[in-house]
Structure 1
Amino acid sequence: MAGPGNAAPVIIKRRKSVQEGGHHGGAWKVAYADFVTAMMAFFLLMWLLNATTDKQRKGIADYFNPVMPIHRTSGGGDGMFEGDSLFSEDSRAREGSGAAARHPSEQRRAMGLEADTGGEQKVLKDLMARLDGLGGESPERLALMRHIVTGLTDEGLVVELFDLTDRPLFDGESERPTQILRDLIPVVAGAFALVENAVAVHGHVRSLPITRIENPVWQQSSSRAHQARQLMELSGFAPARMRRVSGFADRRPAVADPMVARNNRIEFVLLRNGT
């Protein structure tokens, strides 16, 4: 028998068993989360393309345009997705070059109206700021000024008076002015009295939800525009400064839905010299 010092060493081998189909460290969860996020973004994009108009999609594209900061124009619109372009001065400014007086649009050039020296533009802007700042005098005046929105266009300064859902400017579908419009007209007349430019009055109405043999919207918009003109003159506005009174029926809706009350409105345009 061998002595204790000559005993063979005992070697124990441990085998690691590998099981297929393990969790692989959880990397698949990250990949799956990325996939779900991408699909959600894709479906949101499809929904957005289907739910917006061409004008709204152009506004979104202009917002993400990387060259926007180098343009010397202000953003357009008085709310989300409003305005022809974010390069316009407001929701009705001409598209592309904004409303800068030193950069007349092709339309103004075609009419022979080159860029002015900036004096008239400043006057119109000051008058617009004056109208926009009238709402802080009292709660009643603040409620009244909710019906007014202003903007600069190629024609001049546009002061728009429009219906609110529960506060119309005219009784029903008639041309009888409510007290709200009677209170608003002197505000516009007083502001326009500070300058000598001619004025145009435009009437707009909403589309009717029913089909009639004779659509009354043309007569309705024209009658309302003439009522607004008469109220202006009763407020002391010089009749000789009235250049034209027009009714546009429901052909130029202010919002996407042509049947909402917001489309019932009267526009007073303080015309630029030469227009």
Structure 2
Amino acid sequence: MSTGSNAPIIIKRKKVIAGGGHHGGAWKVAYADFVTAMMAFFMLMWLLNATTEQQRKGLADYFSPTIPINRVSGGGAGAFGGDNIFTEETLAQSGTGVSQPSDGSDPLRSESDAAGDAAAAQVAALRDIEAVLMGQGGESMLSDQALRHIITRLTDEGLVIEIFDLPEVTLFVEDTAIPNPVTAEIATIMARLFAAVRNGVAIEGHLSAKSLLRVDNPVWELSTNRAAQMRLMLQSGGLDPMRITRQTGAGDRESAVRDATAPRNNRIEVILLRSDI
């Protein structure tokens, strides 16, 4: 007797997973951008922590273009108004003659241009002094310890070099005008750098306020004496005494920070004056 007709029928179902297989590589690009951004962020944090204020200022100045490509807009389709920078020298040789009669002077140069060039030259000279002092283009002439006491800024008056106390190291012996070695080092280097220009020099002494009122508060005399001591050190370093145009003591009246009693307010400001004002 045959049993083939009684055999069970087995049905096998294949499970199909929708959406399987390759999904593309967009997520890899997004992840790489994320990793790059995080690396850039941590590098920025490291630079902010590892550099001084002067070095950060040098980096900012490096990425700030200050040299114009062309002073005025040209009327032609090409660069320099459709002409070239040697027009006056080449037109006569090409047979077209000069653009206009010349008496030996530059007809395109006005008095305002000359004044602007002089002002720009002054600013450039002051920036060069600042760069060498702070070591923005390389190694500074000052030691790292001395650089911690200095900050510079360029103002309408000139290059202000601010030399200030640190909580652990002061410029002068407490309540005296006797300079500490770091102050003498800074003064010597400044005198050497100032010899490269002929600008006048102004010196201002400043002090921090006392937390307690004193009947005999010698802030005026002490700030003036410290300014005078800085003048003497600059002259000993080789600065011409005739270039000193102003020496003042401001007492505790002009604080550099909000807290008038902070040591940061004990400072000497040496200003390399602009000669074009």
What is the aligned partner in structure 2 of residue 63 from structure 1? none
Structure 2 segments unaligned to the other structure (5+ residues): 1-52, 55-60, 62-114
Aligned residues: 166
Alpha-carbon offset, residue 226 of structure 1: 0.2
- 1:212: how far off? 1.2
Contact 1:175 1:220 in 2 (8 A): yes
Matched, 1:173 2:170: no
Q: Deviations over 1:218-253 (max 9, x none)?
A: 111001000000011111111011001000111111
Counterpart CA distance in 2 for 1:192 and 1:222 is 22
Distance 2:242 2:264 in 1: 30
Q: Which deviations, in whole Å up to 9, do the C-alpha atoms of 1:49-99 show, x marking residues without a partner? A: xxxxxxxxxxxxxxxxxxxxxxxxxxxxx69xxxxxxxxx9xxxxxxxxxx
1:143-162 to 2 correspondences below 5 Å = 143-162=145-164
Paired position in structure 1 for 2:252 = 250
Among candidates 125, 128, 147, match of residue 126 of structure 1:
128
Note the 1:10-21 alignment, pairs <5 A: none
For 2:137 and 2:219, locate their aligned partners in 1 and report how far apart those are by CA, in whole Å.
Answer: 32
How far residue 260 of structure 1 moved from its aligned partner, in angstroms, is 1.0
One-letter code aligned to 2:189: V
Aligned position for 1:199: 201
Deviation at 1:202, TM superposition (A): 0.5
Give the equivalent residue in structure 2 for 1:36.
none
Kindly provide the amino acid, as one letter, of the partner of residue 247 in structure 2. V
* Percent of aligned pairs with the same amino acid: 39
- Any stretches of 5+ residues in structure 1 without a counterpart? 1-77, 80-88, 90-113
**Structure 1 residues 197 and 209, CA, compared in 2 at 3 Å: closer, same or farther?**
same
Contact in 2 for aligned 1:135/1:142 (Cα 8 Å)? no
Structure 1 residues 157 and 140, CA gap change in structure 2 (3 angstroms): closer
Kindly provide the CA deviation profile for residues 120-176 of structure 1, in whole angstroms up to 9, marking residues without a partner as x.
Answer: 111111211111117974898111111111111111001111111111000011111
Preserved CA contact (<8 Å) 2:165 2:263: yes
Residue 271 to residue 173, structure 1, CA distance change in 2 (3 Å)? same
Give, in whole Å, the separation in 2 of the partners of 1:157 and 1:226.
Answer: 19
Contact 1:134 1:141 in 2 (8 A): no
Deviation (angstroms), 1:210: 1.3
Does the 8 Å CA contact 2:142/2:186 hold for their aligned counterparts? no
More relative contact order, 1 or 2 (CA 8 Å, 6+ apart): 2
In the other structure, the counterpart of 1:142 is 144
Match of 2:102 in 1: none
Q: TM-score, normalised by structure 2?
A: 0.55
Q: Secondary structure at the match of 1:150?
A: strand
C-alpha displacement of 1:180:
1.2
Partner SS, residue 172 of structure 1: coil
TM-superposed CA distance for 1:199, in Å, is: 0.3
Partner of 1:217: 219
- Where 1:118 maps in the other structure, the secondary structure is helix
CA RMSD for the aligned pairs? 2.6
DSSP 3-state at the match of 2:268: strand
In the alignment, the residues of structure 2 paired with residue 239 and residue 172 of structure 1 have an alpha-carbon distance, to the nearest angstrom, of: 27
Question: Aligned pair 1:183/2:185, yes or no?
Answer: yes
- Mapped to 1, the partners of 2:270 and 2:239 lie a distance apart of 12
Cα deviation, residue 215, structure 1:
2.3
| Maintained 8 Å contact 1:134/1:145 | no
2:137 and 2:128 mapped to 1: Cα distance?
16
Instruction: Give the structure 2 partner of residue 234 of structure 1.
Output: 236
Task: Tell me the distance in 1 between the aligned counterparts of 2:224 and 2:250.
Answer: 7
* Greater CA drift, 157-166 or 211-220: 211-220
Bigger Rg, structure 1 or 2? 2
Distance, in Å, in 2 between the alignment partners of 1:234 and 1:274 is: 27
For residue 190 of structure 1, what is the amino acid of its counterpart? R
Determine the C-alpha separation between the residues in 1 that align with 2:227 and 2:186.
Answer: 14
Which SS does the other structure have where 2:217 is aligned?
A: coil
The answer (yes or no) to whether the contact 1:148–1:161 under 8 Å persists in 2 is: yes
